[in-house]
Chains A and B, each alone.
Chain A
Amino acid sequence: MLDLSKYDSLGAALTGAMERWPDELCLIEADREHERCRLTYREFGGAALRLAAGFQKNGFAPGDRAAILMSNQSKWLISAYAVFYCGGVLVPLDYKLTSAEHLALVRHSKSSVLIVEYPIWRALSQSDFSETRVETILVTETPAGADLAGAKRWEEFRGEKAPEFRPRKQEDAACIVYSSGTGGRPKGCVLTHENYLEQCATVSPLWPFWPGARYLSIIPTNHAIDFMGGFIMPFTGGGTVVHLRTLRPEYIREAFTRYKITYMAVVPLILKNLERGLRDRFAALPPMKRRVLNALVRVNRMATRRRPRLWLSRLLLKQVHQAFGGELRALLVGGAFTEPKTLEFFHDLGIQIANGYGCTEACTAITVNDMKPFRPDTLGKPVAGMQLRIVNAGADGVGEVAVRSKTVMSHYLDDPELTAETVVDGWLLTGDLGKIDASGHLQLLGRKKNMIVTAEGKNIYPEDIENVFESLPVKEFCVFAANYLWPQRTMKDEKLVLVVRPDPNQNANGTMRGELELRNQRLAPYKRISGYVLWSEDFPRTASLKVKRNVLAEQIGRQLDRSAVQPL
């Protein structure tokens, strides 16, 4: 891989990759059974510089912000490199949000450029951009004859002059990444070039890339794991990123064998789906073959308990590994809680699941399991350069996880108050509760913050969804993470509940329930509340009438238990 200490910015490092491996393959984009494109580093660089020339012709200057809103594809990475080449700041947005959410984040980020794929633009173009700072909108893959509604075609956005590389300092902002807050208070993490280069340098030795190594990119690239694992790491190692335009389980399975995938990042939901598929296939085997498989799995389990032995696992369980293409080194999982038995299942098959813990505020990874030995019950040890401590630990050693490293973000965009609460004397207070065991491994045992993380790795803060319940026919309401009300020492099955103070004259379990269900349906499935709790007292409020959530939560926790939740 590149010696990242030589570079001050992502733009410089990526340019270094173009120069080092011009004829190596960097991108493959497939859609169902056919390939849409293959690009070498030279071709990728050429496409990006044409776009960069267009940016500079239109006055895009160092420090200017460009939001990207598209599913995983070559144009995402080409656009990102073009932005970095011009010294810009990338604002990667989650393409799965609603148009209203997209607009809110584009406005909050003060992006002057929006790069968006046509299907998303078709919906978003109905929005009012007057309160944003967007001056240029580039739309990809617009059908011939389609109305661009004032935007420009990405494919035609060029400049006559070759673009000039704009250097950045390590402490300059590289990206603004939203960790949440699409409905409430947006949390735009300002991550610097140093954050990314440091993160890449520390985790690349664990999962190295080289020309020929291939990463299958299926988690949205705005997500920290895919941005690092599916862009920066492969590119700074001369590897190849494979994009699938249609993300169906069968195409993902085929991609493993067709492209001989080396790594893939997954969220726990996808891992469970893979596990289910494999278990079904094993269950369908004839009894004798099943017994042989079980015996081989037992041998592999014993042989790899202390450390992985990939060559042996591939030998013992050849057909299983061939189903994954025969070249798979690891599945990287993060973003949410993964069940230990799922980790064990794959480990027993010799398929390494590199699980760990991280957060956007710390760029990507804080701790990682190195499998030496295999510990399904922990999130591993801090990565190189990461200081980790437990703040306000109780008698059981559990307290808030705090970290300090060159990967910790600069600040939250335009929110000095929240920044000051979150990064204290250089220590990032994660809001997660955990302890360090005798081996130096981290175990997470709850959250201090009132929020949940879904199985798809999405952070949901109650404030993000409360507006959908506005003007509910009740006296007052508030959304909480169930674990915030009733703390339990687990990160499993996190749910949101609505606490409702009904109107005294109302039939709480009649009309209100129906209305509640209707409102809940308006939310994307992963944001929905699981139930509601009826509360008979006034909500404690501040002088400015904001609900004192922590006080209310304490009262509810004292007087009620989980059985009070009425499921929806």
Chain B
Amino acid sequence: MKTLEQTTDEILGLAAQHFKIPREQLAPSDDFYKKLKIDSLRALELITRLEHHFGIELPDYEVQGVTDFRTLASRIQARL
């Protein structure tokens, strides 16, 4: 089973790929709205992509109020 660090790293990689930003510019504590320059709808696109990648379903309430990669990773990790 993946560790939280591995999950976080995968999320950063996928986010970088999806929004065409260099991976090295992203850090776990980053606010993904600010760093990726996205709004709430584009954030949901990312979450859907992550769901497909990790093979899980994340109910909307699990990501309500989440703004940083690390917290998002912990929500995903809890469902692996």
Contacts and interface: CB of A to CB of B under 8 A. Distances in A.
Nearest to A98: B65
A503 B24 CA distance: 37
Interface stretch (A20-28, A199-207, A243-251, A429-437): A243-251
Interface string B27-63: 0000101100001111011011000000001011110
A71 B60 contact: yes
Contacts of B3: none
B39 A455 contact: yes
Contact of A521 (B31, B48, B64): B31
Interface string A521-547: 100111000000000000000000000
A269 B60 CA distance: 18
Contacts of A95: 64
A290 interface: no
A431 to B, nearest CB: 26
A258 interface: no
Interface string A383-407: 0000000000000000000000000
A269 B64 CA distance: 17
A456 interface: yes
A456 B61 CA distance: 18
B67 interface: yes
Interface residues of B, number: 19
Given A71-B60, A119-B59, A525-B33, A249 B65 contact: no
Interface in A63-79: 71
A120 B57 CA distance: 19
Interface string A239-273: 00000011111100000000000000000011001
B56 to A, nearest CB: 12
B44 to A, nearest CB: 5
Interface string A264-294: 0000011001000000000000000000000
Contact of A246 (B33, B40, B60, B67): B60
B44 A247 contact: yes
**Residue with the highest number of chain A CB atoms closer than 10 Å, among B33, B41, B59, B60:** B41
**Residue with the highest number of chain A CB atoms closer than 10 Å, among B40, B62, B65:** B40
A120 B58 CA distance: 15
A274 to B, nearest CB: 9
Interface string A98-135: 10000000000000000001011000000000000000
Interface in A507-523: 521
Contacts of B65: 96, 98, 524
B45 A249 contact: yes
Nearest to A246: B60
B18 to A, nearest CB: 13
Given A71-B61, A246-B59, A521 B67 contact: yes
B52 to A, nearest CB: 11
Given A249-B45, A525-B67, A269 B40 contact: yes
Interface of A: 32, 71, 95-96, 98, 117, 119-120, 245-250, 269-270, 273, 455-456, 521, 524-526
6 contacts: A245-B60, A247-B60, A248-B44, A248-B45, A249-B45, A524-B65
Interface of B: 31, 33-34, 39-42, 44-45, 47-48, 57, 59-62, 64-65, 67
Given A98-B65, A119-B62, A119-B64, 11 more contacts: A96-B65, A119-B59, A119-B61, A246-B59, A247-B44, A248-B48, A249-B41, A273-B42, A456-B40, A521-B67, A524-B65
